[in-house]
Structure 1
Amino acid sequence: MHDWDAIRYFLEVARTQRASAAALRLGVQHSTVTRRIRALEAGLGVMLFEKSRANGFTLTEEGQQFFVYAEQVESALLAAQEALSGAAQGLTGHLRIGSTEGFGSTILTPLMVDFQRRHPGITLDIMPVPRYISLSKREADIAIALERPQHGPYLCTKLAEYALKLYGTRDYLDRHPPIHQRSDLSHHTFIGYVDELLFSDRLRYLDDWVQASQVVFRSTSVLAQYQAVLGGQALAILPCFLAAQDSRLAPVLNADIHVSRSFWMYCHEDLRQTRRVMAIWDYLKQAIKLNQDLLLGEQRTLQIPS
């Protein structure tokens, strides 16, 4: 049977669909990757990938079957390595966490700085991105998303509910017609998402309140929208955990315009056996529970667990 390196090369190519990308992640030459894949296919007597310039390396039916077994081997080896190396010392190893952009930058990052202070043997990649994180391609060990995964071998929990409200700068509100009720919004302009580039329908909330013609500034990034609001030219619906921490912003129609959404945290079921993953899992559940009021817009500062 082939050695672990052959399986590792296979997994990286399957996840990235490019030999060049797999080589970069493995720290080897492109030719080394393609040679190892050819040797693995020859040894197994099957074609694992269909190869083309347009689509790169695409798993065949046999490749998809082998991928399931290869992931099980990978998870078992990682769990064994952690159990043996961590038996006599604190948490060690590397973890990658993918998250929605606003939450990842504003909430997750400072919490993970605190977690790493507690566990200096852990190295972290934090990926706050305005797109879906694929655990099947091992883009991350843990994902925090707006929607619960519909299928897959995942351990999943509802991390928290959070609120969004309409915000503007105090200067904007002083310079423009007063807003006492929803009908007053017709005299104002807004900031929102680029509709055709939305990665989740859970972000499609501005449509409930204003006409499309009133949206004069659009971005795929909630942080860009936040910065645009600070420019004082328009209003935007923003997460309370982002906007409530900034004294320059004030909620508009606070009792009337209120959007509720949820964050879900999930990881591969196999990672339930790894101490470092479960340590971050438990830490985040505790820390987010402590900051539930901030997520709902009833508190203005992030609390770090004691």
Structure 2
Amino acid sequence: MQKNITSLNALNWDDLKFFLEVARTRKASNAAKRLGVDYTTVSRRISSLETALGTLLFEKSRTNGFVLTAEGQRLLSYAETIESTLHMACEQVSGSGVALSGHIRMGCTEGFGSFFITPQLSHFVDAYPAISVDILPLPHFISLSKREADIVIALERPEHGPYVCCKLTDYTLRLYATQDYLDSHGPIRQPSDLNSHPFVSYVDDLAFSSELLYLANLLPGASANLRSTSVIAQYVAALQGRSLAILPCFLAAQDPRMIAVLPEEVEITRQFWMYCREDLRKLKRITLLWDYIREVTEMNHAFLMGEPAPLRFRQPLAAER
């Protein structure tokens, strides 16, 4: 019993912050960058925590970095609970001005993040200047468990985990080409005509979601002579007038250079899901951004479904300025 009391008294609670960052990034150098300190400080704080607890929390590997031991895994869940509780406590005892401040990271698919979410967030941070937002429009899975993001917008609903999740919206994709392409290639009057036309599409085995593999499912006879993991790269390639591309309407329909081909016959509907960790969902700044994204998405339903509608922005209330 005396040993436990001594260990607790020797524990520096601030060391848990360093532990969490190393556990999430698996590299002391990356943790140091996120915390704004040097590598030696991170290493020293981790050693201090291990000494205070009397156990090894990480095994160090040249290839895998800092790997949590079984004891480290057990501590991680407790440390995250402490972190969330501290966030909630600060909001409860602080004024509303403090509660509506801080930093949020939002992960999102590349096209939606770049062409819809980022423009909307530029208006959000203008209305709430005390809140800073990182948008991560990356074409790969973003881990909430490693706190790579606080909120994620994805093509698929998470199968399990301590998450709050909602369907954000449906959206439409259609087949697009430039006028130059249509003028210089054979006529396209029906879907069977597409078998002789070149496409730009995803790299099948590198697609981060099966929801992206619509070309093979919709047009089995079509061939892609140029492929990319980036929907923006596909969009730019189609603009060169040498291939067709299936693109989200929120990306291509607002560009007058892009023309929808067989819009009635070639149309795909997909969904976006928004989710975050249960413990973070209660934070006021997370709730504010969550509700804001849902509102502006609903406001732009027609735009996202490929109907002739402009991109709309929510007008902030005077009290938000």
Alignment TM class, shorter chain as reference? over 0.9
What is residue 237 of structure 2 aligned with on the other side? 228
Q: Deviations over 1:259-293 (max 9, x none)?
A: 11110111110012211100011111111001111
In 1: Cα distance, 2:309 partner to 2:13 partner: 50
SS at structure 2 position matched to 1:158 = strand
Contact preservation (8 Å) 2:172, 2:267: yes
Alignment equivalent of 1:57, drawn from 66, 86, 89: 66
Contact preservation (8 Å) 2:202, 2:229: yes
Deviation at 1:72, TM superposition (A): 0.6
| Paired residues for 1:112-261 under 5 Å | 112-210=121-219, 214-261=223-270
Alignment equivalent of 1:33, drawn from 42, 46, 50: 42
In 2: Cα distance, 1:269 partner to 1:90 partner: 18
In 1: Cα distance, 2:31 partner to 2:71 partner: 20
Contact preservation (8 Å) 1:240, 1:296: yes
| Larger-gyration structure (1/2) | 2
Mark the runs of 5 or more structure 2 residues left unpaired by the alignment.
1-7, 316-321
- Work out the percentage of aligned pairs sharing the same amino acid: 54
Deviation at 1:55, TM superposition (A): 0.7
In 2: Cα distance, 1:196 partner to 1:236 partner: 18
Contact preservation (8 Å) 1:245, 1:300: no
Matched, 1:48 2:57: yes
Mark the runs of 5 or more structure 1 residues left unpaired by the alignment.
none
Q: How many residues align?
A: 306
Matched, 1:301 2:310: yes
Deviation at 1:82, TM superposition (A): 2.8
In 2: Cα distance, 1:261 partner to 1:207 partner: 16
Q: Deviations over 1:20-49 (max 9, x none)?
A: 111111111111111111221121122211
Deviation at 1:3, TM superposition (A): 2.9
Contact preservation (8 Å) 1:11, 1:71: yes
In 2: Cα distance, 1:211 partner to 1:198 partner: 17
In 1: Cα distance, 2:83 partner to 2:99 partner: 22
SS at structure 1 position matched to 2:152 = strand
Deviation at 1:212, TM superposition (A): 7.5
Amino acid at match of 2:225: V
What is residue 111 of structure 1 aligned with on the other side? 120
Amino acid at match of 1:151: H
TM-score (norm 1): 0.96
Contact preservation (8 Å) 1:90, 1:119: no
Q: Deviations over 1:216-261 (max 9, x none)?
A: 1111111111111111000000011101111111111111111111
SS at structure 1 position matched to 2:14 = helix
TM-score (norm 2): 0.92
